[in-house]
Structure 1
Amino acid sequence: MAIDLRDPGASYVSFWRERHMCTLTTLRPDGTPHVVPVGVTYDPEGGERGIARVITNRRSRKVANVLAAGPEGARAAVCQVDVGRWATLEGRAVVRSEPDVVADAVARYARRYGRTPTPNPDRVVIEIALTRAMGRA
């Protein structure tokens, strides 16, 4: 079911505020999908159509996949499922390493998941500028 990113609806946004593990799908340089479990935060007001964020280590395969796509960013999707409810966000991913951007993403993660990750000097943010949403929340 398609979701309007400009007006995703209260139940959809609420579902993304609940504590759920998610998956991130990026494409390897050979075009095959790389799917990994992650924590995701969703900011429906960020950017023109919203932003999803994943905090991770700069040496991870997911970061390498995003960087390999070049400066325009990589296609990526995040998804979460809870029994009959599900939500997917798709868009163009870039890697951000600015300290204030990383700190903001960590704070968002802490609010959603109820814990602050241990400090990591190699932490970066995969930031996904959203272009499509689907789901049933």
Structure 2
Amino acid sequence: MSLHLPLGATAEAFLAENHQCTLTTLRPDGTPHVAPVRFTWDGETGTARVMTTVSRRKARNILARAQSPVAVCQSAGPRWITLEGVATVSTDPARVEEGVRRYTARYWSSPPQFPGLAVVEISVDRVMGLY
């Protein structure tokens, strides 16, 4: 099923659960790159956030393609939800700090603090799932 934002209570509850997640980006040649990730969801702004470093393939893919479309997917058995939208990568300290704060709140530990820490911010415009 495809939904429009804002999400209903069932989708929001599923997004608050801790399950396997992937982020799909497009390489410069247009082929998909799928990486396991942890992400946070901000239902008020329709933003999904993934912590990474600027040197990782997923960040480089987004940086190489302005207004890059991406998809983050969470699954648990037969239940799943995919959030699609345009992604940006930021190393702005305030935005990275917000990403770290949300990550820590969801996963009860901070993300690894590697050099070049960045936040991928996905402005979600399409939601599909079975939850």
Bucket of the pairwise TM-score, normalised by the shorter protein: over 0.9
Identical aligned residues as a percent: 48
Structure 1 runs (4+) deviating above 3 angstroms are none
Residue 117 of structure 1: how far off its partner (Å): 2.1
Cα distance, 1:19 vs structure 2: 1.1
Alpha-carbon offset, residue 60 of structure 1: 0.5
Distance in 2 (CA, whole Å) between partners of 1:78 and 1:59 is: 19
In structure 2, the partner of 1:33 is 32
Query: Does the aligned pair in 1 maintain the 2:103–2:110 contact within 8 Å?
Result: yes
Q: Which residue of 2 aligns with 1:51?
A: 47
Kindly indicate whether residue 61 of structure 2 is the aligned counterpart of residue 65 of structure 1: yes
- Counterpart of 1:4 in structure 2 is 4
1:119 aligns with 2:113: yes
- Determine the C-alpha separation between the residues in 2 that align with 1:122 and 1:115: 19
Alignment match of 2:122 (pick from 118, 121, 128):
128
Question: Quick check: 1:105 aligned with 2:99?
Answer: yes
Cα distance change on mapping 1:26 and 1:118 into 2, 3 Å: closer
SS at structure 2 position matched to 1:109: helix
Return the alpha-carbon distance in structure 2 between the equivalents of residues 91 and 85 of structure 1.
21
Under a length normalisation based on structure 1, what TM-score does the superposition of the two structures give?
0.91
What's the CA shift for 1:97? 1.1
Q: Give 5+ residue unaligned stretches, structure 2.
A: none
Report the AA paired with residue 53 of structure 2: N
* Residue of structure 2 equivalent to 1:86: 80
Asked whether the equivalents of residues 50 and 120 of structure 2 are also in contact (C-alpha less than 8 Å), the reply is: yes
Measured on the aligned residues, the alpha-carbon RMSD in Å equals: 1.1
Q: What is the rounded CA distance, in whole Å, between the counterparts of 2:120 and 2:28 in structure 1?
A: 17
**Contact kept? 2:74, 2:82, Cα under 8 Å:** yes
User: What TM-score do you get using the length of structure 2 for normalisation?
Assistant: 0.95
1:21 aligns with 2:15: no
CA distance in 2, matches of 1:30, 1:17: 34
Unaligned runs of 5+ in 1: none
* Separation in structure 1 between the aligned mates of residue 116 and residue 20 of structure 2, nearest angstrom: 22
Structure-2 residue corresponding to 1:42: 41
